[in-house]
């Protein structure tokens, strides 16, 4: 980042142009900037443009991929897509280049005597099936596992769940969405009884105020953020950035409010205190549609192996809740959070104003949080108390980071406790799934096994002996990484990795399978707003690469499950999707038919009577509402949402004398996740070639550190040396540092902490204690 | 070293005039819409003073009806 200023500036200019184009497209649908949009297209090309959702983040922009002579050569935004209205961010525009990195995996590799040797796909799949059978025979069903991701297409995840839960009979199915979305899921389930946002992106066009809770949208969701900026231009909306670090989002916002890490819990409660104190409660909404509950406190942080926690909800009344909030007056919370009472009242006043529609947006800041479920609950509390929910522009909205974290992990249910419809703990849900899967119901165990962190701990302990990792890179993303890397390398473990490029995760593999990527196969993704999108196969995958779906089917057949995996090569995606739809055949979650998805730029579920449902739980828009009232939170047995009493509790590890700084980790705009794809796109790699550590300018001055100097970060897990960044892109608050995690050569997760939210089991990557020294 | 993007709306019938006027300014790139009366303008200056001076020059163009900033980034100085 320090040697390529020219590239950086041209990249930022491109971002500025894209933001303006996005804003223009929202104001003038169909507007064309042909010269700019087609600047990079091959001259005289005869391109065949086909639609797909973007491969990268969870926004789910619709793109048109230009194919020429069997190669994907260009991308442009799909003007028909209501998500991005014809535009993309800089990663999206370069998405097809990720297909053609020089070191693409094209042949299966098997580790023999410490070296990888090429083999045939048949031999590799035979070996995987036989190893799985052998492991089950020697160590039991729960010794085999699969770990996927929110980049799994819907058919990938479905095939994995059916094979492991339905056929083999283990709940050892997890996905990396546990690391980024699990707190959002448990937040939705505890507050509403059903997962995923009630609103949609169209809320942006109606809201008057946007409160971003620890969400650097300008870098992580640039197309959506441009929609916010466009609304400010057109309607004068307000954008409030509530964060622990000053970022580009803060700079673009109307107001930036900085809070001390973990204290968002206290501030959210203080906002609720103000709402009640000032008489801003929507009494009729709360009386008709809400219950009050409290749960257990002092839950711990999951730092020890085999940690267990089950919440015990207890109903309370409004008066008890009001009394609880007495501990969270703005003046008291100012002392905890560093946020002035005036700023707390400022935010509360917007939420409380009956004439302002408010959208709360969040992503990793609230989800990767040792009290992630609680902070999700607390933001819902604000919207429920004021009745600002499930109506256009009034929308608590959890954003996602992967193209199908919602569509696959959350909807197909590729987590240990989940089934496509319901959970493994409920007999009727197991019976329902078993019938569709054509397996004996006894096959599906009634107890969840390991969430992600515990799954890798089990691999380390030897409770798990076989792990198949598809389309994710845990040897970069796991917290307290060294333990899990060493564990995976132990004798007696067998690791299969399906991916498109060599990564630190393929380095631990016994078998590496080359996967077909994105438009090299047919598939479906589901984005943050419940939009399911189909893409067809547009180009051939290189060498022997095979889709993750078909890899699973081939192994399933080799293990004797031909009856359940009856799908034909030519039509298997359609067959799987049609079978999957049966799990959601009801008004609350109906999925659109495949032919509709093929013709439309995505459809929002529930899809009922030929229509998407934009606002769930609102009888005006949602046909599943059946209580005769304006709102029906039908995920809960009594149709009422829950306002939760959740206190502020400190993080698992806070700064002390030996480790006096907070360490926060996250992403950068140029790279998507671990950079395994975007670092192979030259313009993105050159713009951001390596990781760095951001310091507060005051701290840097005191430590005599300037940009580019080497800085050693030390935690109780280890140490790492990184170049410093001072007053550049982001500015941490005093006594805090920030490091992006995309760089496999500078693995910040070697020193992070594996504490997690006891309810969601999602790790807190945003907070641990660190010491900072100039090298 | 600020980089900013704007949407520039010309007065009726003055789009070409506005494009020409803006194209004369240094540190200022113009991307006109093909089918609407709208221009994207990107400014790239060395410091805040130059940025403000350039904005004043743009706002002084007669054919400009409205200039609205969309995004602004203050990038690092070269070391």
DSSP A388-410: --SBTTBEEEE--SSTTIIIIII
Q: Which of B4, B36, B79 sits opposite A16 (nearest CB)?
A: B4
Q: In this structure, are residues A404 and A151 in contact, taking their beta carbons and an 8 Å threshold?
A: yes
Q: What angle do CA A8, B56, B47 make, to 5 degrees?
A: 35
Q: Is A478 a catalytic residue?
A: no
Both structure tokens of B57: 């020059």
Distance CA A681, CA A704 (A): 35
Both structure tokens of B66: 């409205």
pLDDT at B2: 85
Considering only A29-33, A333-337, A524-528, B58-62, which range has the smallest mean pLDDT?
Answer: A29-33
Interface A-B, measured as beta-carbon pairs within 8 A, has a size of: 96
> What is the location of CATH 3.30.200.210 in chain A?
5-100
**Average per-residue pLDDT in chain B?**
85
Q: Does B66 fall in a domain?
A: yes
Is A35 or A478 the better-scoring residue by pLDDT? A478
Average pLDDT over residues B9-25: 92
Q: Does B78 fall in a domain?
A: no
Both structure tokens of A665: 């980790």
Q: Which residue has the tokens 């953020």?
A: A225
Give A729's contacts in chain B (Cβ within 8 Å).
76
Distance CA A557, CA A129 (A): 9
Pairing state between β A736-740 and A661-666: parallel
Yes or no: domain A109-179+403-566 corresponds to CATH 3.40.50.740: yes
| Confidence bin at B36 (pLDDT 50/70/90) | confident
The arrangement of secondary structure in A5-100, i.e. its CATH architecture, is 2-Layer Sandwich (3.30)
- Whether B34 sits inside 8 A of A727 (CB atoms) is no
Q: In this structure, are residues A385 and A276 in contact, taking their beta carbons and an 8 Å threshold?
A: yes
- Whether A20 sits inside 8 A of B6 (CB atoms) is yes
- Whether B35 sits inside 8 A of A727 (CB atoms) is no
Beta strands in A386-501 (DSSP E): 395-398, 466-470, 494-499
Average pLDDT over residues A282-299: 98
Q: Which of B3, B38, B73 sits opposite A28 (nearest CB)?
A: B38
H helix or E strand, kind and range, residue A310 = none
pLDDT at A375: 98
Nearest CA in chain B to A4: B78
**Average per-residue pLDDT in chain A?**
95
Give A226's contacts in chain B (Cβ within 8 Å).
70-71
Q: Which of B7, B32, B75 sits opposite A9 (nearest CB)?
A: B75
Q: Does B79 fall in a domain?
A: no
Give A31's contacts in chain B (Cβ within 8 Å).
33-36, 38
| Confidence bin at A15 (pLDDT 50/70/90) | confident
What helix, strand, coil percent values describe chain A, rounded to 5?
35, 20, 45
Among residues of chain A, what percentage have pLDDT more than 90? Answer: 89
Residue B54 vs residues A722, A744, B21: alpha-carbon distances, Å? 38, 42, 13
Return the DSSP state at A611: B
> What is the location of CATH 3.40.228.10 in chain A?
182-399+637-645
Both structure tokens of A187: 């937040």
| Confidence bin at A480 (pLDDT 50/70/90) | very high
Is A728 or A12 the better-scoring residue by pLDDT? A728
How far is Cα of residue A603 from the mean position of the Cα atoms in its chain? 20
pLDDT at A3: 39
Q: Which long-range contacts (CB under 8 A, 24 or more apart) does A508-511 make?
A: A508/A475, A509/A109, A509/A111, A509/A469, A510/A110, A510/A111, A511/A108, A511/A109, A511/A110, A511/A111, A511/A124, A511/A127, A511/A128
Indicate the number of domains in chain B: 1
pLDDT at A371: 98
- Whether B34 sits inside 8 A of A35 (CB atoms) is yes
Of A670, A372, A411, A391, which Cα lies nearest the Cα of A527? A411
Distance CA A196, CA A199 (A): 9
pLDDT digits (tens, 9 = 90+) for A609-646: 999 999 999 999 999 999 999 999 999 999 999 999 99
Q: What ipTM does the predicted assembly reach?
A: 0.93
| Confidence bin at A13 (pLDDT 50/70/90) | confident
- Whether A20 sits inside 8 A of B42 (CB atoms) is yes
> Which of B76, B78, B79 to probe by mutation at the A interface, max A CB count within 10 Å?
B76
- Whether B31 sits inside 8 A of A35 (CB atoms) is yes
Neighbouring C-beta atoms of residue A97, cutoff 10 Å: 18
Distance CA A521, CA A184 (A): 30
Say yes or no to pLDDT of A43 above 70.
no
Residues 6+ apart with CB under 8 A from A499: A105, A469, A470, A471, A473, A505, A506, A512, A513, A514, A515, A676
The arrangement of secondary structure in A182-399+637-645, i.e. its CATH architecture, is 3-Layer(aba) Sandwich (3.40)
Say yes or no to pLDDT of A42 above 80.
no
pLDDT at A729: 86
pLDDT at A520: 98
pLDDT at A2: 38
> Which of A4, A7, A33 to probe by mutation at the B interface, max B CB count within 10 Å?
A33
Beta bridge partners of A546: A515
- Whether A5 sits inside 8 A of B7 (CB atoms) is no
Say yes or no to pLDDT of A22 above 90.
no
Chain A residues at the B interface, defined by Cβ less than 8 Å, are 2, 5, 8-9, 12-13, 15-17, 19-21, 23-24, 27-28, 30-36, 218, 226, 229-230, 233, 248, 251-252, 707-708, 727-729
| Confidence bin at A44 (pLDDT 50/70/90) | low
Query: A661-752 — its CATH code?
Result: 2.40.40.20
pLDDT at A9: 73
| Confidence bin at B66 (pLDDT 50/70/90) | confident
Q: Is A220 a catalytic residue?
A: no
Considering only A45-49, A323-327, A744-748, which range has the smallest mean pLDDT?
Answer: A45-49
Beta strands in A91-234 (DSSP E): 109-112, 115-118, 144-148, 173-175, 209-213
Q: Does B12 fall in a domain?
A: yes
Q: Is A91 a catalytic residue?
A: yes
Average pLDDT over residues A666-682: 94
Q: Is A359 a catalytic residue?
A: no
DSSP A494-511: EEEEEESS--TTGGG-SE
Helix (H, G, I), strand (E, B) or coil at A460: helix
| Confidence bin at B75 (pLDDT 50/70/90) | low
pLDDT at A259: 98
Q: Which residue has the tokens 């002392």?
A: A335
Say yes or no to pLDDT of A32 above 80.
no
Average pLDDT over residues B64-68: 86
Residue A430 vs residues A5, A439, A579, A585: alpha-carbon distances, Å? 57, 10, 16, 16
pLDDT at A498: 98
| Confidence bin at A8 (pLDDT 50/70/90) | low
Counting DSSP H helices and E strands in chain A, the numbers are: 25, 29
How far is Cα of residue A415 from the mean position of the Cα atoms in its chain? 14
Distance CA A682, CA A675 (A): 12
Neighbouring C-beta atoms of residue A442, cutoff 10 Å: 10
> What is the location of CATH 3.40.50.740 in chain A?
109-179+403-566
| Confidence bin at B19 (pLDDT 50/70/90) | very high
pLDDT at A37: 53
Say yes or no to pLDDT of A725 above 70.
yes
Give A2's contacts in chain B (Cβ within 8 Å).
79
Residues of the domain holding B28: 2-36+45-73
Distance CA A566, CA A564 (A): 6
pLDDT at A174: 98
pLDDT at A41: 57
Question: pTM (2 decimals)?
Answer: 0.90
| Confidence bin at A205 (pLDDT 50/70/90) | very high
Say yes or no to pLDDT of B34 above 90.
no
pLDDT at A1: 35
pLDDT digits (tens, 9 = 90+) for A256-267: 999 999 999 999
Give A36's contacts in chain B (Cβ within 8 Å).
31, 40
Q: Is cis: bond before A358, omega within 30 of 0? A: no
Both structure tokens of A197: 């946002």
pLDDT at A502: 98
pLDDT digits (tens, 9 = 90+) for A454-464: 999 999 999 99
H helix or E strand, kind and range, residue A242 = strand A238-243
Nearest CA in chain A to B41: A17
Q: Does B58 fall in a domain?
A: yes
Give B8's contacts in chain A (Cβ within 8 Å).
none
Distance CA A298, CA A152 (A): 35
Is A288 or A24 the better-scoring residue by pLDDT? A288
> Measured on CA atoms in the order A594, A596, A597, A602, is the torsion positive or negative?
negative
């Amino acid at each position: 980042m320090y040697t390529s200023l020219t590239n950086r500036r041209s990249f930022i200019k491109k971002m500025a142009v894209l933001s303006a184009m996005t804003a223009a497209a929202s104001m003038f649908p169909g507007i064309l900037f042909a010269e700019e949009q087609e600047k990079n297209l091959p001259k005289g090309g005869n391109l065949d443009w086909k639609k797909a959702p973007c491969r990268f983040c969870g926004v789910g922009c619709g793109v048109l991929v230009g194919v020429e002579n069997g190669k994907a050569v260009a991308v442009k935004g799909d003007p028909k897509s209501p998500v991005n209205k014809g535009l993309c961010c800089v990663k999206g525009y370069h998405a097809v280049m990720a297909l053609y990195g020089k070191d693409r995996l094209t042949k299966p590799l098997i580790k023999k005597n410490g070296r990888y040797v090429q083999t045939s796909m048949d031999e590799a799949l035979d070996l995987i099936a036989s190893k799985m059978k052998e492991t089950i025979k020697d160590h039991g069903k729960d010794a085999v596992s699969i770990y996927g991701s929110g980049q799994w297409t819907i058919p990938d995840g479905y095939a994995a769940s059916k094979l492991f839960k339905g056929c083999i009979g283990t709940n050892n199915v997890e996905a990396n969405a546990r690391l980024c979305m699990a707190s959002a899921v448990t937040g939705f389930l505890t507050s509403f009884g059903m997962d995923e946002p009630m609103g949609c992106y169209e809320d942006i066009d109606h809201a008057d105020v946007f409160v971003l809770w620890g969400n650097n949208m300008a870098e992580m969701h640039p197309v959506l953020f441009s929609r916010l900026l466009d609304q400010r231009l057109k309607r004068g909306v307000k954008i409030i950035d509530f964060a622990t670090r000053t970022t580009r989002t803060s700079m673009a916002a109307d107001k930036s409010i900085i809070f001390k890490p973990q204290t968002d819990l206290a501030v959210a409660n203080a906002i609720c205190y103000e709402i009640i104190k000032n008489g801003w409660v929507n009494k009729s909404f709360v009386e008709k549609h809400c219950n009050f509950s409290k749960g257990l406190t002092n839950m711990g942080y999951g730092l020890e192996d085999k940690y267990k926690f089950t919440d015990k909800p207890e109903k309370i009344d409004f008066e008890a809740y009001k009394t609880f909030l007495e501990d969270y007056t703005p003046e008291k919370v100012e002392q905890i959070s560093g946020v002035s009472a005036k700023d707390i009242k400022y935010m509360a006043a917007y939420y409380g104003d009956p004439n302002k529609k408010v959208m709360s947006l969040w992503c990793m800041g609230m989800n990767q949080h040792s009290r992630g479920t609680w902070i999700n609950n607390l933001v819902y509390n604000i919207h429920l108390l004021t009745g600002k929910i499930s109506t256009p522009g009034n929308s608590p909205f959890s954003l996602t980071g992967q193209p199908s974290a919602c569509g696959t992990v959350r909807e197909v249910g590729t987590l240990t406790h989940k089934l496509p419809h319901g959970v493994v703990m409920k007999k009727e849900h197991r019976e329902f799934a078993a019938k569709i899967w054509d397996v004996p119901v006894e096959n599906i165990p009634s107890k969840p096994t390991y969430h992600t962190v515990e799954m890798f701990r089990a691999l380390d302990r030897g409770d798990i002996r076989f792990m198949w990792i598809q389309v994710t890179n845990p040897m970069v993303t796991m917290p307290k990484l060294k333990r899990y890397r060493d564990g995976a390398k132990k004798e007696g473990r067998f690791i299969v990795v399906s991916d498109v490029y060599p990564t630190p995760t393929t380095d631990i593999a016994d078998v590496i399978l080359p996967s077909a990527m994105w438009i090299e196969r047919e598939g479906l993704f589901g984005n943050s707003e419940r939009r399911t999108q189909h893409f067809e196969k547009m180009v051939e995958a290189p060498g022997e690469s095979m889709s993750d779906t078909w890899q699973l089917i081939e192994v399933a057949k080799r293990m004797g499950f031909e009856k359940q995996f009856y799908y034909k090569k030519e039509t298997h995606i359609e067959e799987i999707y049609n079978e999957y739809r049966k799990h959601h055949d009801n008004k609350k979650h109906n999925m659109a038919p495949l032919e509709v998805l093929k013709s439309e730029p995505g459809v929002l579920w529930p899809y009922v009577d030929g229509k998407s449902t934009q606002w769930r739980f609102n009888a005006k828009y949602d046909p599943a509402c059946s209580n005769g009232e304006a709102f029906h939170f039908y995920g809960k047995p009594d149709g009422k949402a829950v306002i939760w009493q959740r206190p502020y509790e400190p993080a698992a590890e806070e700064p002390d004398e030996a480790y006096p700084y907070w360490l926060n980790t996250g992403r950068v705009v140029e790279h998507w996740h671990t950079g395994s794809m975007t670092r192979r796109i030259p313009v993105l790699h050159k713009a951001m070639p390596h990781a760095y550590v951001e310091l507060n300018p005051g701290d840097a001055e005191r430590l005599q550190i300037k940009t580019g100097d080497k800085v050693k970060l030390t935690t109780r897990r280890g140490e790492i040396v990184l170049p410093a960044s001072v007053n550049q892109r982001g500015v941490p608050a005093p006594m805090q540092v920030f490091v992006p995690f995309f760089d496999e050569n500078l693995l910040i997760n070697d020193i992070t902490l594996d504490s997690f939210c006891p309810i969601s089991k999602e790790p807190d990557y945003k907070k641990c204690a660190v010491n900072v020294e100039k090298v | 070293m600020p980089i900013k993007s704007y949407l520039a709306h010309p007065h009726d019938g003055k789009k070409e005039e506005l494009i020409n006027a803006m194209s004369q300014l240094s540190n200022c790139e113009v991307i006109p819409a093909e089918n609407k009366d709208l221009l994207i303008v990107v400014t790239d200056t060395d410091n805040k003073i130059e940025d403000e001076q350039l904005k004043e020059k743009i706002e002084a163009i007669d054919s400009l009806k409205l200039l609205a900033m969309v995004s602004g980034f203050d990038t690092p100085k070269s070391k």
